[in-house]
């Protein structure tokens, strides 16, 4: 019962972050599950099975609000789904002891990506709407899909942030297109986990608890985003993911006692500096006047 409560809390944490940032449900939830003692393949499989329902609902919602660029769906989703299947197969084919440091490194990198992306966010710059080349979309989908399966999350942190940084798409189109594409990626990754793990190994009670925790807190997540600036929350969450997975990796390779304390201290100092930069950026953004429509009046 206690473990199911922890899983539900993982869903709560993941949904709070995802609802506020539009990404990182998988990264956050998988990090919590690994910290609670779940094997990497089980953690990623549970997260992806829970996400089948959430990504479907998200895709339908974005479709109804016109947030999807259908010309990019196939170029992102198909390579992403194939790579996610490969990632799921890879993760289920290696022993848990060997998988743990690999997944920790992937999550550490994703956490660092989230950390720097939000700490130095300057999203107030103008969007230069234009064409995103297909030779960019396909590899981007493949990399994001593989990391999503291996790390339990990564589709949003890698794919969404890259497209947002290009400033060639409206933010709502980026979120909607990546969200709709993620459904296929999640379904195929889940199929890979189901093939690689026996049905007795799939903790469906864990999947249910994760899903329930995420669904119940969804309204609260929408409220949190109004209270805390996204760049500050993203920097806070990214730092937690980095520190947690650094500890997981060092423990897996038996180096925690040797290099752990100085490394954690160094990471904490860098994290504090980035949080400070994010807070200053948020304050500066609030002080900027709202743009005036020159054609009005």
Per-residue confidence of the chain (297 residues) as pLDDT tens digits?
556 777 777 777 777 777 666 677 788 888 888 887 888 888 899 889 988 877 787 778 778 888 888 989 999 999 999 999 999 999 998 887 888 888 888 888 888 888 888 887 665 554 455 677 788 899 999 999 998 998 888 888 888 878 877 777 777 788 788 888 988 999 999 999 999 887 667 778 888 888 887 777 766 665 665 666 777 877 887 888 888 889 888 888 888 888 888 999 999 999 999 989 888 887 887 776 554 444 444
pLDDT on residue 64: 82
Tell me the domain boundaries of the chain. 2-95+126-229
Could you report the per-residue pLDDT of 141-184, keeping only the tens digit for each?
A: 999 999 899 888 888 888 887 887 777 777 778 878 888 898 89
pLDDT for res 159: 85
Could you report the per-residue pLDDT of 183-201, keeping only the tens digit for each?
899 999 999 999 988 766 7
DSSP H or E stretch at residue 177: helix 171-196
pLDDT at 22: 63
CB count within 10 Å of CB 90 equals: 17
DSSP assignment of 269-288 = HHHHHHHHHHHHHHHHHHHS
pLDDT confidence of residue 292: 47
The pLDDT score that the predictor gives to residue 266 is 93
CA atoms of 3 and 19, how far apart (whole Å): 24
Q: By C-alpha distance, which of 74, 89, 108 is closest to 248?
A: 108
């Amino acid at each position: 019962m206690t473990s199911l409560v922890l899983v539900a809390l993982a869903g709560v944490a993941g949904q709070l972050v995802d609802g506020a940032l539009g990404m990182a449900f998988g990264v956050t939830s998988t990090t919590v599950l690994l910290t609670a003692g779940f094997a990497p393949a089980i953690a990623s499989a549970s997260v992806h099975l829970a996400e089948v329902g959430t990504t479907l609902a998200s895709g339908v919602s974005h479709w109804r609000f016109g947030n999807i660029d259908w010309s990019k769906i196939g170029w992102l989703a198909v390579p992403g789904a194939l790579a996610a299947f490969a990632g799921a197969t890879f993760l289920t084919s290696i022993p848990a002891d060997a998988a743990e440091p690999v997944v920790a490194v992937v999550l550490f990198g994703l956490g660092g990506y989230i950390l720097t992306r939000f700490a130095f966010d300057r999203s107030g710059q103008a969007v230069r709407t234009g064409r995103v080349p297909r030779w960019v979309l396909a590899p981007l989908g493949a990399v994001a899909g593989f990391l999503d399966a291996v790390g339990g999350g990564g589709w949003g942190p890698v794919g969404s942030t890259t497209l947002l940084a290009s400033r060639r798409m409206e933010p709502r189109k980026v979120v909607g297109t990546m969200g709709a594409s993620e459904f296929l990626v999640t379904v195929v990754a889940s199929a890979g986990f189901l093939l690689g793990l026996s049905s007795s190994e799939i903790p469906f009670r864990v999947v249910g608890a994760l899903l329930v925790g995420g669904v119940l807190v969804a309204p609260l997540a929408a409220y949190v985003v109004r209270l805390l600036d996204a760049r500050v929350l993203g920097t806070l969450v990214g730092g937690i993911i980095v520190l947690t997975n650094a500890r997981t990796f060092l423990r897996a390779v038996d180096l925690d006692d040797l290099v752990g304390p100085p490394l954690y201290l160094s990471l904490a100092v860098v994290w504090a500096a980035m949080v400070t930069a994010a807070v200053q950026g948020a304050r500066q953004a609030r002080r900027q006047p709202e743009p005036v429509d020159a054609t009005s009046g």
